[in-house]
Amino acid sequence: MTESLEWMSVVFLAIWTVWGVVTLVGVYLLWKQIKRTLDRLTERLEPSLKRLDEITRKLNETVDHVSERARSVADKAETTAETAREAVEHVASQARAVAEDLSSKTRSTASLFRDTISSPLISLASLWAGIKKGLEIWGRRGHG
């Protein structure tokens, strides 16, 4: 009876160990796949962010250029200068605000995307570390 119970305990521990190893391998493979996907998405997103920064810079330069020209015209024609200057400054201000808002939202979206992928990866890494430590402790107790 005791031998049967010992044998069943050994079988149970063997099955439990195999299940744990399969689970860890699965988690590791999932983690690698998520990391590869994140790397590919980051590679795709970076050129768009660089392009957006370039467009924003050019838009700001254009707005500055338009503002300077509008001020020059305003100096030449005093009666219409005040009205024209105010209108151009308003448009320039709105254009800058729109450009900055667009840039900010794009960066926020990219940051949110990174956070939604990075956070689960950190959790998986923590889970992996906990499982690994648990297996180390379990292994020491099982062989001690």
pTM of the model: 0.35
Q: What confidence category does residue 26 fall into, taking pLDDT thresholds of 50, 70 and 90?
A: very high
| Comparison of pLDDT for 91 and 41, the residue scoring more | 41
**Domains of the chain: total:** 1
For the beta carbon of residue 70, count every other beta carbon within 10 angstroms: 19
Nearest CA to 31 out of 112, 123, 113, 134 is that of 123
Give pLDDT tens digits for 61-103. 898 888 888 777 666 766 666 776 788 788 778 878 877 887 7
Q: Please check the confidence at residue 27 and state whether its pLDDT lies above 90.
A: yes
DSSP string covering the chain: -HHHHHHHHHHHHHHHHHHHHHHHHHHHHHHHHHHHHHHHHHHHHHHHHHHHHHHHHHHHHHHHHHHHHHHHHHHH-HHHHHHHHHHHHHHHHHHHHHHHHHHHHHHHHHHHHHHHHHHHHHHHHHHHHHHHHHHHHHHHHHH-
31: containing domain: 2-143
What is the pLDDT, as a whole number, of residue 74? 63
Q: Do residues 103 and 53 touch, judged by C-beta distance below 8 A?
A: yes
Q: What pLDDT, in 10s, does the model give residues 5-17?
A: 888 989 999 999 9
Pick the more confident residue, 109 or 52.
52
